[in-house]
Each structure stands twice: as C-alpha cells, then as structure tokens.
Amino acid sequence: MEIRHSTHPSQLAAFDTPALRAHYLVEDLFAPGEVRTVYTHHDRVVLGGAAPTPDRPLTLTPAPELRAEFFCQRRELAVLAVRGAGAVLVDGVEHRLGHGDCLYVGRGAVDVRFHAGGEDTRFYLFSTPAHGDHRTAVARYAEAAVDRLGDPSTANVREIRKYVHLNGIRSSQLVLGVTTLADGSVWNTMPPHTHDRRTECYLYFDLPDDHRVMHLLGEPDATRNLVVRNEQAVISPSWSVHSGAGTHAYSFVWAMAGENQEYTDMDPVDITELR
C-alpha cells in the first residue's frame, strides 16, 4: 500500500509539476492480476484498484499499515465497476456488478473477493474508517435517480447519480456517486466549490486513451492543474476545489469522507473569484 501524507494549502505554490502529481494524482491503480491500494492521510481514505483476470479471482487483504485482521475490520468500502463487469463475493455472497454499478460493503465483512466477468474487468475501490455497521448493498447505474445539471452553452451538461448517501445506501461516513458528461460537454463541477468538512476524490473513467482531463485543484484564489488520463484518481483535500475540463466527454466517480454526509453542504465559488 502506498502512503500519501496530508498537505497544507501553503505548500502548493512550491510544488512543481512532478511534486503536484506525486501528492494528489494516483496514476497506476490498475494492473491485471493485482489489487493496488493508496492510503491518504486526508480523512484516512484508502483508494484502490482491483483488476482480476478470468482465471484468477483476487482477494482484498489488509496491508500491514492498517493493523487489521481483515480489510473491513474497522472500515467500510465501496466498489465500482469502471471497466467491464464482474462479481464481488462478500463472505460467500455473490454480487454481480455491471459497468457503472456500485457495491457498498459494510464494516465487519471478512472475506471480499473480486471475479472478472470477461477479459478486461476493473473495480475501483474507495474505503473510509467506519464507526458503525451498515448493510452491504448494490446500487445500479441504470436504476439510480438522475440529477441533470448544466447547459450546452457552458459545455457542462452532466448527469449525477448518487449511490451511497443520506437518501440512498446508508454508511458511516462514505458518500459516493458517478457523474457522466453529455457528448459535447467537457466541464465538471463548474462553477466549482470546496467543502471544508470533507475530503473528495475523483476517479475519471470512460475517457478515450488519447484524451485527457485538465483537473483544477488548490484554493480557489490559487488554483493549479493536473493533466489526468483515463482511470486515474485525484485526491482533493478539504480546502481544494475539484473541477475539470476534458478534451472529450467522460465519467467520474466522486467519493467523499469527513465531518458530515450532506451532499449539498458545499461552499460555492464564483467563477470570477478563481485565480
């Protein structure tokens, strides 16, 4: 497991491009036949990627740094099929996930295994410490309620599906959903916001390999950018905006942890205030 330490906003000005990427961009979460994890001390989130192959299911094991007997001993977990389809076995119970579907695994699940549904299956993992037990449950992309935002004139038409939240699958602190850009739209989360109560991570997916997202981070009056490719994640500390423009339409998993779970608890930033 890779460890990322917390950062203070005053550090950003001194970061060159490699330093910025090393702190906030997670580049290689997915490798065939492996489960990879990254631990950020921002709200103690664990990001992961599981890429099982048809002949080799994968088991989620706790890295020594977690000092746990099993991964979900003190943690809750969300699993989202960002490429292909497959199944996740939780203590022997099979949960089939199609592309864009989400499984929430509650604290206490001992045995979590990932099975490929074809040659190219990728599961994104997002985990947070949990102070309570909540039911393991599936939310499907095709069945989720859709919030439609944006306007073609501002190139930000997008659909937001909330999976794990106060009015959906319940959890201790984890909040997660998927945003999908309409063809011809490129901007997510514009106008942007921060939320001092929560860390948020984005995992971009369904972006063609020869395209990129220009992701904005930093305090609103001192933004920086990361150039992000398909299936890479960005860690946004609570003080940071998290917004991006693609050279093509895309989807992303947004996921949060922290003080509260109110999706609408955002500190909006006026576009004219951005620097």
Ligand X SMILES: O=C(O)C(=O)C[C@H](O)C(=O)CO
Residue 193 annotated as binding? yes
Q: Which residue, 44, 43, 57, 50, is CA-closest to 29? A: 50
Annotated ligand binding at 242? The verdict is: yes
The encoded tokens of residue 199 equal 């860390």
* Minimum CB–partner distance for residue 266 and Zn ion (Å): 6
Interface positions, 189-208, toward ligand X (CB under 6 A): 189, 200
- Enumerate helices (H) and strands (E) in the chain, giving the number of each: 1, 24
Of residues 47 and 109, the one with the C-beta less far from ligand X: 47
Which residues, 178 to 207, sit near Zn ion by CB under 5 A?
A: 200
Considering the complex, state which of residue 34 and residue 159 has its C-beta at the smaller distance from Zn ion.
Answer: 159
- Of 81, 144, 160, 234, which lies in the binding site for ligand X, with binding defined by CB under 6 A? 160
Residues 31-60 that bind ligand X (CB under 6 A): none
Rounded CA separation 141/87 (Å): 15
In the list 107, 115, 158, 165, the residue contacting ligand X (rule: CB under 6 A) is: 158
Helix (H) or strand (E) holding 206: none
Q: Are 123 and 81 in contact (CB under 8 A)?
A: yes
Token pair in block for residue 121: 């299956």
- Select from ligand X, Zn ion, none the partner in contact with residue 188, using the beta carbon and a kind-dependent cut-off of 5 to 8 Å: ligand X
**What track of x and - describes contact with ligand X for positions 224 through 263 (by CB under 6 A)?**
------------------x-----------x---------
Separation between Cα atoms, residue 169 and residue 175, nearest integer Å:
9
Phi and psi of 17, rounded to 5°? Answer: -60, -50
Residue holding tokens 């943690």?
75
179 binds ligand X (CB under 6 A): yes
Binding site for ligand X (CB under 6 A): 158, 160, 179, 188-189, 200, 242, 254, 266
